[in-house]
Amino acid sequence: MSLHNQFLSSLLTEFNPFITTTQVIDWIKERNDVINVSVKKIPFSKLDKWSFDNEKGIIRHDSGKFFTIEGLHVKTNWGKVKEWDQPIINQPEIGYLGIITKEFNGILYFLLQAKIEPGNVNNVQLSPTLQATKSNYSQIHQGKKPLYLEYFQNVINSQILLDQLQSEQGARFLKKRNRNIIIKIDDDIPVYDNFIWVTLGQIKKLITHNNIVNMDTRTVISGIPIDNCVNINLPIYLQDKLLINTFENRMLMSAFDKNASLRSFDEILNWLTSLKCKYELEISTRSLFNLKDWTVTKDCIHHKNNTYFKVIATEIKISNREVQSWTQLLIEPMQVGLIAFIVKIINGISHFLIQAKLECGNFDILEIAPTVQCLTGSYVDSIDLPFLKVVLNANKNQIKFDTLQSEEGGRFYREQNRNLVIEVDEDFPIKVPENYNWVTLSQLNTFLKFNNYLNIQTRSLISAINFI
Amino acid sequence: MSLHNQFLSSLLTEFNPFITTTQVIDWIKERNDVINVSVKKIPFSKLDKWSFDNEKGIIRHDSGKFFTIEGLHVKTNWGKVKEWDQPIINQPEIGYLGIITKEFNGILYFLLQAKIEPGNVNNVQLSPTLQATKSNYSQIHQGKKPLYLEYFQNVINSQILLDQLQSEQGARFLKKRNRNIIIKIDDDIPVYDNFIWVTLGQIKKLITHNNIVNMDTRTVISGIPIDNCVNINLPIYLQDKLLINTFENRMLMSAFDKNASLRSFDEILNWLTSLKCKYELEISTRSLFNLKDWTVTKDCIHHKNNTYFKVIATEIKISNREVQSWTQLLIEPMQVGLIAFIVKIINGISHFLIQAKLECGNFDILEIAPTVQCLTGSYVDSIDLPFLKVVLNANKNQIKFDTLQSEEGGRFYREQNRNLVIEVDEDFPIKVPENYNWVTLSQLNTFLKFNNYLNIQTRSLISAINFI
């Protein structure tokens, strides 16, 4: 069976003899019940091995590894605010976000972990098989080697199903990227405590629940190619399925059809190039102590209006059978956030309304963002943001997906954002501003193969698109 | 006629009722004869409006625009040298390299300019319609608006045939990119002095001559998509043409065929991702006065071994009907360079042997380079470089292309490099190192659509691939 068909059949399969979807949810709940995670805010001075470098104006680890919190000065001709300062996370290492897959009875299963992350609103969520940076698994940490690391380090080309460099939040991270990788193992693999095998269809179903599937799992599975079927005949059961006009089938058609898009792929690329040439992004580092509108106190770095986010120091205690404790920095959001795609049938095919969005930490000026993205500002205050009203006023029939999803719990303190997909009628009038455009799911999938085109919010929403 | 067919028919047409290819060569020669360009090396202190900023350790223009020469400290785990210093050109502005096209009698013609560039070994070469940076056409320069600029500034989407951000030399420029753009105008256009209309087939033929087509024209035309024909029937005359097994037809097949490549496109992408994760590139700025192994004298910046390149100050005088003169910085190469592709038939289709190459100024760690690229070091000294012997020992039948081509004459002083394409026999044994791979011309064309995959040397060689 071809790679694409292997993904496709797993995508369309929710039946799992090992563990049902309901059992997964109960299992996560149970894991959350038996564990106690306490996150206590502490002064910066109580951090272990982390301290201010007063000369450079950064916060760093004694080893010089992991990441630093730095100050950034930003100048741009994009948007309403042309110049500002802010703290940013600088983590130049490329980390692994890796999932091991294996075929059982002809269906591809994904090995996920029930993982505790201190920043999560609930403590345990489903993470990829491996989440690790070089600092994590090299000597610096003096910890144990992460489970399953050797499968990724010894992988041979024919076992790699997907290998992409994808960005993290451009408003919080300076050009950070992770290696999103899916490998397929034929040999027997030990399944350690807290790990389970699930189908892609189950993961998609689990994403319809609040805060079960973590950001890292969502970004990895968003990259799975389900297009490329243009040259092969669809299996009979799919042809039959597609006769029924449901939202899920419209999504499947939008992922498959390469010939009905409003704009050709080259036109979308040209549009992005012209915007990258029009908009300028000039960044320079600046001491955390000299950031305009930001104050460093003994226990946080905050904006003068207490908006955007705070950098905080925390002490983490995890009690289960044994007690673990450590101190670390976290980013605490000060406002609630929302990301949403508006979807509409054009030329008989569902199209997504994307925007080209500049964020200060972007690797290449602009990335493709959802129709509405207000994560770092409060959307209650941003009511004139394009399309926000359409999204907030959507009726029940138009809302195809509406959940709360967590940002990465290793860096962000209890940050969850509302993820929405809204489908409007074919005759719903939408005036498309210069930096917005309509694309099919197939076109989004093509962008996913290349680095730094779709931002992490777009990928989070794509991961939620369900086909069954 | 579709866009791809328009490019294709121009590519296969050398007949031009306005000016024949021979007449173009004579015309360039004539332009070179009537013009006198003197380039005199002067001390830095005689530069007008350019000076050292001693505190920052850079050379800058009084306006703060154009570009700066800065010092760079490089650390990497790629290649034999793990750490070095060097001067580098920092030019953050994205410039236009733009060509206007127009249809006459059903064939697409390209508007090129016979342009004087002080660094060229010969003075006049064929440049794109427009070569301009923001500094060039904004107030800073106080010069005239570049000819034809308004066509690019007022362009509408449907007129854009190609719009790409492409890199320049990663060993000389810090993350520099240009906007490679081709537009099609239907209205009448004035043809100013020194401008001519030529077909794409003529440009390809002109590239088989030494130093006629400048680097900027070569990079723009390299990006022209001639694949994407997989879903359309080839015109009858092409089907007939392709029956003859010539190198040109093998190239055409390699550009068209999407199904016979040794590796799938996704496999090549995965291979690039894994190398980008393996190799690290850490750069930081350093004062020009504190660069290890480099010395700033009163009239140049040079390496202690007088290798690589020098930064020099020059006074330019151009005498034609009137005399123009100015001073500017140039980079003078200290060694001769060579770039070469090895081509071989695999699975019945011509494949190119590419390497993933790290250069310090790269936008994203690695770019795809030709099989052999020794531009900044002397290839006579690098005889153990992979595949260099194969290239240098190639016999007449194997050499499909061998010319001298100039680097950009606005920045580089008399830099010309040997451009070679070598075709080896199907049974010629080649052991492919980890950072090398085989791809078809169609796969190279796909990479060209996306930013920062093919380096400028690869694009220069692709521009030379001729189909008639």
Which ranges of A223-281 would DSSP assign to H, the alpha helix?
A: 236-241, 247-256, 265-278
Are B25 and B121 in the same domain? yes
**What tens digit of pLDDT does each residue of A17-56 get?**
999 999 999 999 999 998 899 999 999 999 999 999 999 9
In the predicted model, is pLDDT for residue A70 greater than 80?
Answer: yes
Q: pLDDT value at position A244?
A: 87
In the predicted model, is pLDDT for residue B377 greater than 70?
Answer: no
* Phi/psi-derived region of residue B464, left when phi > 0, alpha when psi is between -120 and 50, beta in every other case: alpha
Dmax of chain B from CA atoms? 67
The band of A139, judged by pLDDT with boundaries at 50, 70 and 90, is low
Are A7 and A153 in the same domain? yes
The band of B256, judged by pLDDT with boundaries at 50, 70 and 90, is confident
Min distance B201 CA to chain A CA atoms (Å): 23
Give which of B207, B254, B281 is closest to B353, Cα–Cα. Answer: B254
Pairwise CA distance, residues B164 & B217, whole Å = 14
Tell me which of A233 and A398 has the higher pLDDT.
A398
Q: CA-nearest residue of chain B to A175?
A: B364
Q: pLDDT value at position A234?
A: 67
Are A441 and A320 in the same domain? no
Note whether B364 contacts A179, CB cutoff 8 Å.
no
> Which residues touch A251 (CB under 8 Å, ≥6 apart)?
A350, A441, A465, A466, A467
Say which amino acid occupies B90.
Answer: N
CA angle A294/A300/A301 to nearest 5° reads 20
Domain holding B386: CATH number? 3.90.79.40
Environment class of residue B363 by beta-carbon count within 10 Å: exposed (0-12), middle (13-18) or buried (19+)?
middle
Question: Is the Cβ–Cβ distance between B197 and B191 less than 8 Å?
Answer: yes
Q: What are the tokens at B230?
A: 């997989």
Note whether B157 contacts A363, CB cutoff 8 Å.
no
Are A97 and A216 in the same domain? yes
Note whether B269 contacts A225, CB cutoff 8 Å.
no
Pairwise CA distance, residues A237 & A252, whole Å = 13
Say which amino acid occupies B309.
Answer: F
Give which of B182, B237, B263, B212 is closest to B467, Cα–Cα. Answer: B237
Min distance B422 CA to chain A CA atoms (Å): 28
Q: CA-nearest residue of chain A to B95?
A: A277
When pLDDT is averaged across residues A429-439 and rounded to a whole number, the result is 97
**Which residues of chain A are within 8 Å of residue B163 when distances are taken between CB atoms?**
269-270, 273-274
Q: Residue B160 is nearest to which of A162, A270, A449, comparing CB atoms?
A: A270
- How many helices (H) and strands (E) would you count in chain A? 12, 24
Give which of B62, B42, B31 is closest to B325, Cα–Cα. Answer: B42
Q: What global pTM score does this model have?
A: 0.93
Q: pLDDT value at position B15?
A: 94
Are B139 and B24 in the same domain? yes
Pairwise CA distance, residues B137 & A368, whole Å = 30
* 3 state SS of B199: coil
Mutate to test the interface with B, among A157, A266, A454 (most CBs of B within 10 A): A266
- Tell me the pLDDT of chain B averaged across its residues: 92
Pairwise CA distance, residues B348 & B426, whole Å = 9
* 3 state SS of B346: strand
Q: Residue A364 is nearest to which of B266, B277, B451, comparing CB atoms?
A: B451
The band of B329, judged by pLDDT with boundaries at 50, 70 and 90, is very high
Pairwise CA distance, residues A427 & A177, whole Å = 39
* Phi/psi-derived region of residue A284, left when phi > 0, alpha when psi is between -120 and 50, beta in every other case: beta
**Which residues of chain B are within 8 Å of residue A276 when distances are taken between CB atoms?**
94, 165
In the predicted model, is pLDDT for residue B158 greater than 50?
Answer: yes
Q: Which residues pair with B183 in a beta bridge?
A: B100, B160
Say which amino acid occupies B70.
Answer: E
Count how many domains chain B has.
Answer: 3
Min distance B105 CA to chain A CA atoms (Å): 26
Q: pLDDT value at position B339?
A: 96
Q: What is the DSSP letter of A213?
A: B
Q: What are the tokens at A358?
A: 């500049």
Min distance A266 CA to chain B CA atoms (Å): 8
- Tell me the pLDDT of chain A averaged across its residues: 92
Q: pLDDT value at position B172?
A: 93
Over the range B111-149, which residues count as b (16 or more CB within 10 Å of their CB) and which as e? bbbbbbbbbbebbbbbbbbbbbbbbbbeebbeeeebbbb
The three state secondary structure string of A131-178 is EECHHHHCHHHCCCCCCCHHHHHCCCHHHEEEEEEEECCCCCECCCEE
End-to-end CA distance of chain B: 21
Residue B459 belongs to domain spanning: 247-280+336-464
Give which of A112, A225, A231, A113 is closest to A162, Cα–Cα. Answer: A225
Q: Residue A277 is nearest to which of B179, B269, B364, comparing CB atoms?
A: B179
Are B222 and B316 in the same domain? no
Q: Which residues of A touch B (CB under 8 A)?
A: 92, 94, 157, 160, 162-165, 179, 181, 225, 266-267, 269-271, 273-274, 276-277, 282, 363-364, 449-451
Q: pLDDT value at position A227?
A: 67
Are B76 and B100 in the same domain? no
Are A151 and A270 in the same domain? no
Whole-number percent of chain B with pLDDT over 70: 95
Note whether A165 contacts B270, CB cutoff 8 Å.
no
**What tens digit of pLDDT does each residue of A246-262 get?**
999 999 989 987 778 99
Give which of A107, A79, A141 is closest to A18, Cα–Cα. Answer: A107
Structural domain ending residue among the three candidates B239, B262, B295: B239
- CA torsion sign, B142 to B147 to B152 to B153? positive
Are B119 and B197 in the same domain? yes
Are B354 and B432 in the same domain? yes
Q: What are the tokens at A109?
A: 């299963």
Pairwise CA distance, residues B434 & B271, whole Å = 9
Q: Residue B449 is nearest to which of A92, A269, A363, comparing CB atoms?
A: A269
In the predicted model, is pLDDT for residue B368 greater than 50?
Answer: yes
Are B315 and B183 in the same domain? no
Give which of B234, B256, B199, B214 is closest to B14, Cα–Cα. Answer: B199
Whole-number percent of chain A with pLDDT over 90: 78
How many pairs of residues across A and B have Cβ atoms under 8 Å apart?
Answer: 57
**What tens digit of pLDDT does each residue of B114-151 get?**
999 999 988 899 999 999 987 777 755 556 789 999 99
> Which residues touch B436 (CB under 8 Å, ≥6 apart)?
B353, B354, B355, B356, B371, B386
In the predicted model, is pLDDT for residue B231 greater than 50?
Answer: no
Are B170 and B264 in the same domain? no
> Which residues touch B332 (CB under 8 Å, ≥6 apart)?
B300, B309, B310, B311, B312, B412, B413, B414, B415
Tell me which of A382 and B118 has the higher pLDDT.
B118
